[in-house]
Amino acid sequence: MIANGHPLRLVVSREKQDSVIRGLYLVTDGGERLAERVEAAIDGGARVVQYRDKAGDGGRRFAVGQELRELCAKRGVPFIVNDDLELAKALKADGLHLGQEDGDPREARRILGPGGIIGVSTHSLREALAAQAAGADYIGFGAMYPTASKDIEHLPGPQTLAAIREQIAIPVVAIGGISRDNGGAVIDAGADALAVISAVLSAPDPALAAAELSLLFNRRAAPPRGSVLTVAGSDSGGGAGIQADLKTITLLGSYGSSVLTALTAQNTRGVSAIHGVPPEFVAEQLDAVLSDIHVDTVKTGMLFSAGTIAALADKLSEYRRRIVVVDPVMIAKGGAPLIDRHAVEILKERLLPRTYLLTPNIPEAERLTGMTIADEEGMQEAARRLHRLGARNVLVKGGHLLSGDSVDILFDGSAFHRYATPRILSKNTHGTGCTYASAIATFLARGEPLREAISRAKQFITAAIRHGHPLGKGHGPVNHYLAAQEFKDR
């Protein structure tokens, strides 16, 4: 393009994009084993650590701060001190976060030097613009929601954040009452980072809690959003297994990679032969993918043998993959067994404790628990028992019940959540379980929290069954393509 005889040059400001203030912003509490919990949170995806301790004496605050400073330096995570400029200077912190009455950002800049990161808490557009004009590198803005960590005087919420976002050129850290289930709305409103305390540090597993929150940021990524690894068997008929997984992942807008555990000679009428992949080669495939490609979620299907399950559990631990959706495939649609008794025991001992979400249908839940399930109360009890075996969340699928709606029940360790859709009578249901679990893993990878990911996946699989493809002479496959076409505008 030419203007006034001179070529125009497109200049893109990268100030905000290149800032280290983005993603999960962890604020410390005053609890025990702080360094251990902070390190776990960093493992799970925390990108910034802010040291906040207003109750401790000077010597203790320095000692704890020094331990955290060394930890953050080792892990390559910016270390920010809350409010205390002298402590930040003494600890050689990467930056300082100031409240509205805790000092002047200009003075902090002078003391910490041009490379210091300066943040300011704000509650309105006026305060945010003032902090930006004073040279702050980022602002904290909130509170988004009520919180137990302090009395809330200002509650602008996500709506106000969205309203001011276009007028603020520096990163915005949303603060106050943020959790896995409401954080997505805050990111959608324009937050560059989410500040959390108890949502991570008070969790039984801070690394998993941090991983859940970190995934929410994928909702703003360029397509394909997120990355899903499927570990499953091949269906030569294309309706289930790794073929169904990759169709689902791709059509729902994520990136799919795969590890094969077994080859099946299979069509719509059933499985006629199975050729298991040696566990050593399964491990080689896992190394190849996980050492090179970022994987947000792992989805498992047919694992076939005890050796394969053990190899998978080892690699999940080695590569610290925490968001693992396990579809415990045991019996093919036509009735062929896909896993032996010893493998079931290894699955319970080694894989369930590493499972984020377990998605058994009723026959699978019965085999894993030894129960007989005839109604929703039985589904709830099975979910409780499977949770006690180590799965963090359990979704028992009720498609095999013969009456009423098709109801699935999620148990998250503290409460039950019910997902119901009208039952569709169709013989074209091949690949239902594979597709459903893959859809959940995909929505998680795209940045949806667990309950919303299940809800959306339930809608997707219901559409896929409704559009079931009358292919072959047996149970035809669900229709991934038409379900995705129907779903893309939601």
pTM to 2 decimal places: 0.93
Say which of 45, 142, 276, 433 is annotated catalytic. 433
Establish whether 431 is a catalytic residue: yes
Residue 390 makes CB contacts below 8 A (sequence gap 6+) with: 352, 353, 354, 355
pLDDT at residue number 490: 60
Give the integer Cα–Cα distance in Å for 71 and 92: 13
Residues of the chain with pLDDT under 70: 1-17, 148-152, 332-337, 489-490
For the chain, the domains span: 23-219, 227-487
Give the integer Cα–Cα distance in Å for 65 and 130: 29
Say which of 355, 429, 442, 462 is annotated catalytic. 429
Q: Which long-range contacts (CB under 8 A, 24 or more apart) does 284-291 make?
A: 285/259, 285/260, 286/231, 286/259, 286/311, 286/312, 286/315, 286/319, 287/315, 289/229, 289/257, 289/259, 290/229, 290/315, 290/319, 290/321, 291/319
Q: Which CATH architecture has domain 23-219?
A: Alpha-Beta Barrel (3.20)
pLDDT at residue number 54: 79
pLDDT at residue number 475: 92
- The CATH number of the domain covering residues in 227-487: 3.40.1190.20
pLDDT in tens, 242-283: 999 999 999 999 999 999 999 999 999 989 999 999 999 999
pLDDT at residue number 126: 96
Taking all residues of the chain, what is their mean pLDDT, rounded to a whole number?
92
3-class DSSP assignment, residue 110: helix
pLDDT at residue number 240: 95
pLDDT at residue number 411: 98
> Partners of 232 in the beta sheet?
260
Give the integer Cα–Cα distance in Å for 118 and 114: 10
Establish whether 429 is a catalytic residue: yes
pLDDT in tens, 378-405: 999 999 999 999 999 999 999 888 778 8
Say which of 190, 301, 431, 476 is annotated catalytic. 431
3-class DSSP assignment, residue 324: strand
Establish whether 462 is a catalytic residue: no
55 exposed, middle or buried (CB, 10 Å; 0-12, 13-18, 19+)? exposed
Give the integer Cα–Cα distance in Å for 95 and 113: 10
Say which of 160, 248, 261, 432 is annotated catalytic. 432
pLDDT at residue number 151: 60
